[in-house]
Amino acid sequence: MIEIRVHGRGGQGAVTSTELIALAAINEGKYAQAFPSFGPERRGAPVMAFVRIGDTPIRTREKVYRPDIVVVLDPTILKIVDVTTGLKKDGMVILNTSKSEKEIRKEFGIKARMAPVNATEIAMRHLGRPITNTTMLGALIKATHVIDVESMEEPLKKRFGRIAEKNLNAMREAYQETG
Amino acid sequence: MPKKVGIEVSLAVSEAVCAADVDVIPAYPVTPQTHIVEHLSELVADGELDAEFMPVESEHSAMSACIGAAAVGARTFTATSAPGLALMHEIVFIAPSLRTPIVMVIANRALSGPISIWNDHSDIMAQRDCGWIQTFAENGQEVFDLIIHAFRVAEDPEVLLPMIVNMDGFTLSHVIEPIELLSASEVSQYLKPFEPQLVLDPKNPVTMGPVGVPELYTEARQQAESVLNGSKKVIVRAWKEFAKLYGRSYKPIETYRTEGAEVVLMTMGSVTETAMTAVDRMREKGIEVGLMRFRLWRPFPHEEFRRAVRGIKALAVVDRAISFGAQGGPVCSKVKSALYGAPYQPQVFGFISGLGGRDITVEMFKQMVKKAIRYAKKGEGPVYELIGVRER
Mean of the pLDDT values across residues A62-84? Answer: 96
Judged against a pLDDT cut of 70, whether residue A154 lies above it is answered with: yes
* Interface with A, mutate which of B4, B35, B177, B274 (most A CBs under 10 A): B177
Give pTM, 2 decimals.
0.97
Q: What is the extent of the structural domain holding B277?
A: 253-386
* Domain assignment present for B392: no
Higher pLDDT, A179 or A96: A96
Q: Give the gyration radius of chain A's Cα atoms.
A: 15
Q: Which residues of A touch B270 (CB under 8 A)?
A: 61
Within an 8 Å CB–CB cutoff, is residue A38 touching chain B? Answer: yes
Contact B117 A40 (CB under 8 A): yes
Q: Cα separation of B32 and B30, whole Å?
A: 6
> Quick one: pLDDT at residue B391?
85
Within an 8 Å CB–CB cutoff, is residue B2 touching chain A? Answer: no
Question: CA nearest A38 in B: which residue?
Answer: B170
**A106-143: per-residue pLDDT in tens?**
999 999 999 999 999 999 999 999 999 999 999 999 99
Judged against a pLDDT cut of 80, whether residue A162 lies above it is answered with: yes
* Domain assignment present for B149: yes
Q: What is the CATH number of the domain that holds B92?
A: 3.40.50.970
> Quick one: pLDDT at residue B1?
54
> Quick one: pLDDT at residue A179?
76
Q: Which of B183, B217, B246 delimits the end of a domain?
A: B246
Within an 8 Å CB–CB cutoff, is residue B267 touching chain A? Answer: no
Judged against a pLDDT cut of 70, whether residue A19 lies above it is answered with: yes
Judged against a pLDDT cut of 90, whether residue A41 lies above it is answered with: no
Domain count, chain A: 1
Q: pLDDT-derived band of residue A164, with 50, 70 and 90 as boundaries?
A: very high
B63-66 LR contacts (CB < 8 Å, sep 24+)? B63/B26, B63/B88, B63/B91, B63/B92, B63/B94, B63/B95, B63/B102, B64/B91, B65/B24, B65/B26, B66/B24, B66/B26, B66/B95, B66/B100, B66/B102, B66/B104
Within an 8 Å CB–CB cutoff, is residue B178 touching chain A? Answer: yes
* Domain assignment present for B391: no
Residues B335 and B270 in one domain: yes
Q: pLDDT-derived band of residue A42, with 50, 70 and 90 as boundaries?
A: confident
Q: What is the CATH number of the domain that holds A15?
A: 3.40.920.10
Q: What is the CATH number of the domain that holds B321?
A: 3.40.50.920
Q: Which of B246, B263, B292 delimits the end of a domain?
A: B246
Residues B241 and B302 in one domain: no
Residues B113 and B148 in one domain: yes
* Domain assignment present for B27: yes
> Quick one: pLDDT at residue B2?
65
Contact A26 B4 (CB under 8 A): yes
Residues B290 and B187 in one domain: no
Residues B239 and B174 in one domain: yes
> Quick one: pLDDT at residue B3?
82
Domain count, chain B: 2
Q: What is the extent of the structural domain holding A100?
A: 2-177
Residues B163 and B242 in one domain: yes
Judged against a pLDDT cut of 90, whether residue A38 lies above it is answered with: no
Say whether B368 sits in a helix, a strand or coil: helix
Residues B228 and B261 in one domain: no
> Quick one: pLDDT at residue B276?
98
pLDDT below 70 — which residues of chain B?
1-2
